[in-house]
Structure 1
Amino acid sequence: MWNLLVVDDESIVRMGLRYMLDWEDLGICWKAEAADGKEALRILEEENIHFVMTDIRMPGMDGIELAQKIRHRNPEIQIIFLSSYDTFSYVREALRLGAADYLHKPTMDEDEIADTMQKVISRFKLPSNEPPQRTEEERNEFCLSLLDPFTFPAEPMKLLPELADESYKEGYELAIIRKRCDAVQENEDSEQLRFLSILHLMSKLVAKDWGGLVFHRNFREMIWIAPVRSLTGDGDMPSYLNGLRQKVLELLNVRLIFACGSSACRDISSLPGAYMSALLRFPRNEQSDSFIVRRAKEYVDRHLLDDVTLAKVGESIHVSPGYLSRIFLKEIGENFSDYIIRNKMEIAQKMLRETSRKVYEIAADLGYSNPYYFSKLFKDRTGLTPLEYRNQ
């Protein structure tokens, strides 16, 4: 199987590419990803990479400089360039560096990407001594086998050698993470895609901060098997997961709940017991909001583009604004006005990406008569002005 490294400074682009098509059907293993050229070079030193798909314009080391260094170090690696820029100078430089192909981000689709990768693959043969790569599905099944005493493998370290790493010398921790079931129901494909997005983000954050294996059971729950200590050697798992939960809420607008095993496992054979312990400790009463908050959210979702106020929502569901404000903060984890703004800014991002409407028109659509105030709220949430976001 061919190993692919994807390099792009926009995490949403990397995530979109990862789940846009079935890479394994193409004979490609999504081996790694990087946010810039320097990180990519570090990965190339550690992993056996055959193809690099890289954005041309990135902060720091851009795609052109990265390609030059790859050509110098390992000319056999095939490079596919991604860019929002179709000016001739970039295309000419990419071709001069021997690019296998060039994809235009605003117009590329699944078929074009698949055709490009098949053309690149057709030019080369995988070395006969290349060890076979496990698919993500196979790896996930191996991980799940560790959670049941009846399926626990006789030699787990052979199936998952990363669990024999020195970082596990003090033992193993286990946590179960689920998406709250109070969200608006989506169709099965959308639910699975949303879950995979959460799983991917969790895996990236955990690998950076703590280490361990993150896998899933039936696209319904994530399981994290981790060393007792983080990469920095401090913190505890519940505190870290609380911070992680907030990051996922901010980045994906998804609320998570979790439970940890009652104690660390000194031996890997104790993982089935740790999993059962975490299941028994799972906070069942957090699986949904109270009836009042659920009704409030339903009203907000229906009237988000109107002038939604706490008083109007309270009146519609027959509770006082003060009481609604208190239980909303307690159950949702953010106050009412922040909930409104966050959801409006997500609609604004979608409109900026997918339409050509002016900023003041989008502001008006979302109920903001002052476009400058709207721009300030947008920048507070995203770190960019609306125009910077659209042009990035």
Structure 2
Amino acid sequence: MKILIVDDEPLVRIGIKSSINWQEYGMIIVGEAADGEEAIRLMIERKPDIVFLDIKMPKKDGIQVLQEIKERGINSKVIILSSFDDLQTVKHAMKLGAADYFHKPSMNELEISNVLSRIKDEIAYEQKIQENTYESNSKEGILRNLLLGNSVNVKQTKLKENNLYILLFKVKKYESVLQRYPADNPGFLQKTVMNLLGELFSKEKEVEFLQIEDNVFSIFCSNSEIRSNQLSFTSVFERAQLVNHTLARFLNIETAFGISGKIDKFIHIGKAFAQAKQAFGQAFYQPEDSIFYYQKIEDGNVLEQVDEYIIQLKKELREENYNMFLQTLTTLEQFLHSKKGLGERDVRKIYEGLLFMIEETEDYLGYSDHLKGIETFGELSSFYHELFQQKFAIRATLRSQRYSPIIKNILYYLESNYHRPISLNSLSEEFNVSSNYISRLFKKEVEKGLFTYINELRIEKAKSLLKDYRYKIYEIAELVGFKSQVHFAIVFNKYVGTSPKDFRKERM
């Protein structure tokens, strides 16, 4: 798989090249370009599979390059590189066919590798479609091809070309639900869901279904014999309700559905699929509801307003005006919730970017485990508000106390790295001073030993996590930096006067 990097900043190109082991992913960098014209020439000449493309460049910018790619029929997958407060342009790029985007300031190895793995799978799948090597005679193959606009062998399904709808659904609180099922039998939940769908729709004349991802299922419905749009939509809604109630009754799980608009031709299935995804995404903002319908959203003004909020948030961080930052963030969140114009991925990237600016290091990546089970806008907002307030409280404390610069930096470092192994030697290497000097100075200024401070910090973090039953106690021990649950329990009891288990019971 061939990679082309396009950015007018040499340091960005160097950073991308050195970010991951390309050979490990079966990829090779085939060229670099510093402007849009050179980028087009290299795409034609070297035919890269994936292009990292900067938005703002000389000669031709990223948008102009994307437009030319489309006109010339170049098949490269494009990943946009943008600044943090350029969401409007990014979304324009996505509409022109970009596969994903990165905020340049906060790009990291984990994010790049995850996106590359996904795009690599997409390319392999599309190649199978083009080469007609996918099992296009199987029901699953026919339906998957249909979502990509390929209606070969569709007559082997129950679907007809009239009053067609796509429904997508997912299991709510998915990570928690998975805990109920045996770990040694992966896919058990999904197989059970598919079996129930099979029983529900076995006698339906014009319904098919498909598992698209681990937690995304699709139902294809047509109503060729119904002439009324209202009756057709009612039948689709009733099917969604049927699935929703059946899964709640037999599996004790909640679901969220997205229903597309009506189409009449198979060639428009891809459009209906996109509509269902957009509707389905509203569950992020309204977790109390179960069924959502496609509605066209004009997002131009929304994106422009979001960019203005982000510029203001950056300004308040630079000026260390943390109270105003939190107020502006709350206003932005209220705006997003009222307009619902941004998808979950974009909202998550906004929070990640803000955290990166606060952390100013890649330590902001250490919260991925905490975020795994968060599915809704409200949960995400609460998590980040609490985290930001913790960060700002520490900064305020450090400002009010007259610590030396090196101790301030060590305290910042400990706050971001408490979950990692920390020793005097590692701090000595990090800050380029002797371990003995750190030990003496820390005790003198903070008035407690370094490892007493670290243990207190870890226990405070653990007390917060113990309020969340999604985490087992041994997992919390690891998350806050203890090598074993036994050691964690001993230290916790020493500082809190009770065991982690009893502490959790008392707080619930």
Q: Give the TM-score taking structure 1 as reference length.
A: 0.35
The structure carrying a bigger helix percent of its residues is 2
TM-score scaled to structure 2, two decimals? 0.27
